Amino acid sequence: MQSTSARGQAALGPRPAGEPGRPALAVEDEGPDGAPTPPWALVALGVVACAVLTAACWTASHVHADPPLQAAARFLHLAALIVGLGAVLAVDWFALLWLLGRRRLSDVLQTACALHTPIWLGLGGLVLSGLFLRPDLSSPLTLVKLGLVLAVMLNGLYAHWLGQRLRHVQEYPGRVPRRLLMQTGIAATISQGGWWGASVIGFLNSHP
């Protein structure tokens, strides 16, 4: 009986074990009361993210930091990048191992739960420190970087929604739907592309 059960589980491919799953870069799948986050709340958070980035751009154009403050902001910018991107890499690596059948989905869940706070703190640190770096808002590269940062923010909310769908799927036996796997992969790709793209553009802007 145990051998038959093991063969059946292997045939199903990567699927959750024990705890509900979440995709890479997902925030908490449930609210404080254990209920799924309502869609209107995710939309509202998306609007807030757009407003925060817009306010940051306006503030950056009116802030004139002295050299010592700029040096401190550059250090904070680099530290935030290391923290945020490092956490993203860890979560997405575990998600890749799960897709390859080498980790349980519960492992991805535990990793994401432990690292989603550093990811958002890193992203917030990049936005905050950027206020004092005199970004050239007329530069096409800078505008692309801002677009990538916004994409990473909205993608985090999209990953949250995917996490709720994965939680629902885990309640039933069987393989995770292919479409949901593809959506999870797309979310991870957007995350990696956004973080690395913004990092490359920041490097280019710092070396004119």
Distance of CA 45 to the CA centre of its chain: 14
pLDDT-based confidence at residue 7 (cuts at 50, 70, 90): very low
Could you give the dihedral angle defined by the CA atoms of residues 17, 23, 28 and 29, in that order, rounded to the nearest 10 degrees?
-70
Mean of pLDDT values over 49-67: 90
How far CA 2 is from CA of 9, 93, 99, 153, 163, in Å, comes to 11, 31, 24, 45, 30
Q: Which of 21-30, 36-45, 68-77, 185-194 has the lowest mean pLDDT?
A: 21-30
Alpha carbons within 13 angstroms on the beta-carbon side of residue 153 total 23
Q: How far apart are CA 114 and CA 139, in angstroms?
A: 37
Q: How far apart are CA 22 and CA 105, in angstroms?
A: 8
Per the model's pLDDT, the better-predicted residue between 122 and 31 turns out to be 122
Per the model's pLDDT, the better-predicted residue between 136 and 106 turns out to be 136
Whether the predicted pLDDT of 100 surpasses 80:
yes
**Under 8 Å between Cβ of 25 and 119:** yes
Provide the percentage of residues in the chain whose pLDDT is more than 90. 37
Q: How far apart are CA 203 and CA 197, in angstroms?
A: 10
**Under 8 Å between Cβ of 170 and 56:** no
What predicted TM-score, i.e. pTM, was given to this entire model? 0.75
Mean of pLDDT values over 70-99: 91
pLDDT-based confidence at residue 1 (cuts at 50, 70, 90): very low
Predicted pLDDT at 4 = 42
Per the model's pLDDT, the better-predicted residue between 173 and 193 turns out to be 193
In the chain, what are the domain boundaries?
39-205
Bridge partners, 30 (sequence order): 36
